[in-house]
Homo-oligomer: A and B are copies of this chain.
Amino acid sequence: MTDVPEADRPGSSTASHTDALLDRLERVVGAAHVITDPDVRRSYEVDWTGRYAGEARAVIRPASTSEVVEILRMCHAAGCPIVPQGGNTGLVGGGVPVDEGRGAIVMSLRRLDRRDAVDLVSGQVTVGAGVTLAALQRHVRGAGWDFGVDLGARDSATVGGMIATNAGGLRLVRYGGMRQQVVGLEAVLADGRRVERLGGLLKDNTGYDLAGLMTGSEGTLAVITRARLRLVAPQPNRAVAVVGLNTLADALEVVVALRAELTTLDAVEVFFADGLRLVCERAGLRPPFEVPTAVYLLIETADRPAAPDPAHTLSEAIARLGPRLVVDASIVTEPAARRELWRLREAHTEVINALGAEVGAPHKLDVTLPAAALVDFVDRVSDLVATMAPSAKLFLFGHLADGNLHVNVLGPDADDDRVDDAVLRLVVDLGGSISAEHGIGRAKRRWLELDRGPVAVEAMRAIRRALDPRAILNPGVLVSPDGIAAP
C-alpha cells in the first residue's frame, strides 16, 4: 500500500475511521457492511485453495445496484482499486486482493441476492449477482424450469462470479457455458455509470454485445449486478453409463458417434486407469468392471419426462458402437446408482488433493485441446512429465466432449512451475487453450500472451483502458493495465 497517502490508509475496525474514503463508504452501505476487522476480512482476502491471499483496506458489502454505483463513484474519484468478489470459489486468484499496491477494497456482491419471478412465457429469469447457483436452481426448478450450467461449487458460487468467469461446468456439451445462458446484464462501469439490458430479447442487433464482452472479463470491465438468464426445460429422465475402452482414440470415436446419434447427451467425462485406481483406493469406491481398462468414459443422458426408457436408448446406442470400441459398459438409471458412477469421476479432485497433502500440493492446469490434437497431447504430456520430473505423478481427467482436460502434476515444489510452463507451451503448440474454464486471474497471466498472441492481448488492454481508464477494477487480474495512468 505504498502509494496510499497517509490520510487514506486503512483505519481501525471501529465505526469511525481515520480513513476518509471508508467513512464516506459507510454512509452508503452502513457501518456493518464496511469490514475492516482483520479476522472478519480474512475469509474475503484468501481464496479457497489458500494459494492466493492478500490484505484489503476493507471489505464492502453493498445491498443494491445503487449502492454499487455510489461505491464505484467514490472509489473512482479516489483512485481506489476494487476487487469484485462473488462466492470466492475461483481457482486462479482472480477474486482476492494480492498485489494491488494501492489499498484495494474487496467488494462482495453476495447481498445482491434478489430473485425475480420466473418469466414462464420466455423461459427466463432475472436475478441479482449474489444469488448462488444452488439458490438459482431451487428457484427455477420450483417454477418448472432448470438452469443449463451446473458445477460442484453450486452452494457457494454466485451468478455474478460465474458470469465474470464464464463458468463452464458439467453440462457444457449440451447447453454451453455461462455466456450462452446470459440474455442480458445490468452492470456498473468503473466510474459508477450503469448499463442495463434486462428485457430478455433473443434477437437484438443494436451495437456491440457488451454483455458478452463482460462475461468472462473477470471483473476488469465492470461490476455485474444483475443478470437475465435463459432457462432450459427440465430433463429428469436420466441414464448414466461408464464405458471402458482401450485407447483415448477409441474414446474420441465414441464421442463423435454418440453426438451424432443422441440429442440428449448431458455429459461425456473421461478418466484413466491410474486415476480410477487412486479413487478406488482412497475414496473406498468399487471399480466399475472386474478387469480394468486403460480409459473410461462417464456418459450421462437426460430426456423429458415422457421420453422412452433412457437406459434402453443409451444401451442400444452403446451396443451399436460394437466390441471393437467398447470393452465393457455399465448403465444405470436409479438416482443412487447414478451418483455412485458419478463419484468415480468427481472423487478425482478430492483424492488428488489428499495425496497432495502428503507429497506436496498438485499443480493443476485446466486446458482445452482441439479434438484432433487430444491423443497427441496425452502422449506428449506423459513423456514430458516423465522426462522433466521422473518422480512426479500425473493424473488427467476432464470433459472429453469439450476437449477440456484437467492436468494434475504431483511432485514439483509449489513454487517450481517449470513443468507447468512446459505443459502450457505444449498446449499452445498444439493449438489449445491454456485456460479452459478457470480463467486467467493471476495464476495464468504470464502465459496469456503466449496463448493469445501480442495483438489480441494489446486489443484487450486497449478495451480495458477504454472502459476503466484509471484501472481501478481488479487491476492485478487478466491483462496488466500497462500504460493506464494511475490517478
Contact residues, A246-274 vs B (CB, 8 A): 252, 256, 259-260, 263
How far is B180's CA from A432's CA once the two chains are assembled, in angstroms? 20
Q: Which of B204, B263, B433 contacts A368 (CB 8 A)?
A: B204
Judged by a CB distance under 8 angstroms, whether A122 is at the interface is yes
Q: Specify how many copies of this chain sit in the oligomer.
A: 2
- Asked if A399 lies at the interface with its beta carbon under 8 angstroms from chain B, I say yes
Interface flag for A123 (CB, 8 Å):
yes
A193 within 8 A of B: yes
Chain A interface size range = 35 or more
Q: Are B193 and A455 in contact (CB under 8 A)?
A: yes
Contact string against B for A residues 474-485, beta-carbon threshold 8 Å, 1 for contact and 0 otherwise? 000011000000
Does the CB pair A168–B203 fall under 8 Å?
yes
Q: Which residues of B contact A221 (CB under 8 A)?
A: 208
- Min CB distance, A378 to chain B, in Å? 15
Are A194 and B455 in contact, CB atoms less than 8 angstroms apart? Answer: yes
Whether A439 sits at the interface, judged by CB under 8 Å, is: yes
Tell me, in angstroms, the Cα distance from A195 to B454 when the chains sit together: 9
Pair A177/B203 contact, Cβ less than 8 Å = yes
Question: Is B460 touching A208 in the complex (CB atoms < 8 A)?
Answer: yes
Distance to closest chain B CB from A144 (angstroms): 8
In this complex, which of A166, A216, A256 has the most chain B Cβ atoms within 10 angstroms of its Cβ? A216
Judged by a CB distance under 8 angstroms, whether A179 is at the interface is: yes
Report the nearest B residue to A461, measured CB to CB: B466
B452 and A209 within 8 A (CB): no
Is A434 engaged at the interface, CB distance under 8 Å to the other chain?
A: yes
Chain B residue at minimal CB-CB distance from A307: B263
Residues of B within 8 Å of A78, CB to CB, are none
Q: A205 touching B372 by the CB < 8 A rule?
A: no
**A438 close to B (CB within 8 Å):** yes
Say if the beta carbon of A120 comes within 8 Å of chain B.
Answer: yes
Contact A207 B368 (CB under 8 A): no
A451 at the interface (CB under 8 A from B): yes
Q: Of B206, B209, B263, B478, which is within 8 A of A213 by CB?
A: B209
A457-475 vs B, CB cutoff 8 Å, 1 = contact: the mask equals: 1111011011100000000
The reply to whether B203 and A479 form a contact with Cβ atoms under 8 Å apart is no
Q: Which B residue's beta carbon lies closest to that of A431? A: B199
**A149 CB to nearest B CB, Å:** 12
Given A207-B460, A462-B467, A463-B466, A201-B432 contact (CB < 8 Å): yes
Q: Can you report 25 A-B residue pairs in the complex whose CB atoms are below 8 A from each other?
A: A121-B252, A122-B370, A123-B259, A166-B209, A168-B203, A168-B205, A172-B202, A194-B455, A199-B370, A200-B371, A201-B432, A203-B399, A203-B402, A205-B435, A205-B439, A206-B435, A206-B448, A207-B217, A208-B216, A208-B221, A263-B263, A459-B467, A463-B463, A463-B466, A466-B466
Apart from A177-B203, A203-B437, A204-B435, list 15 A-B contacts with CB within 8 A: A121-B371, A199-B433, A202-B404, A203-B403, A205-B437, A205-B438, A205-B439, A206-B433, A206-B435, A206-B444, A207-B456, A208-B459, A209-B213, A212-B212, A213-B213
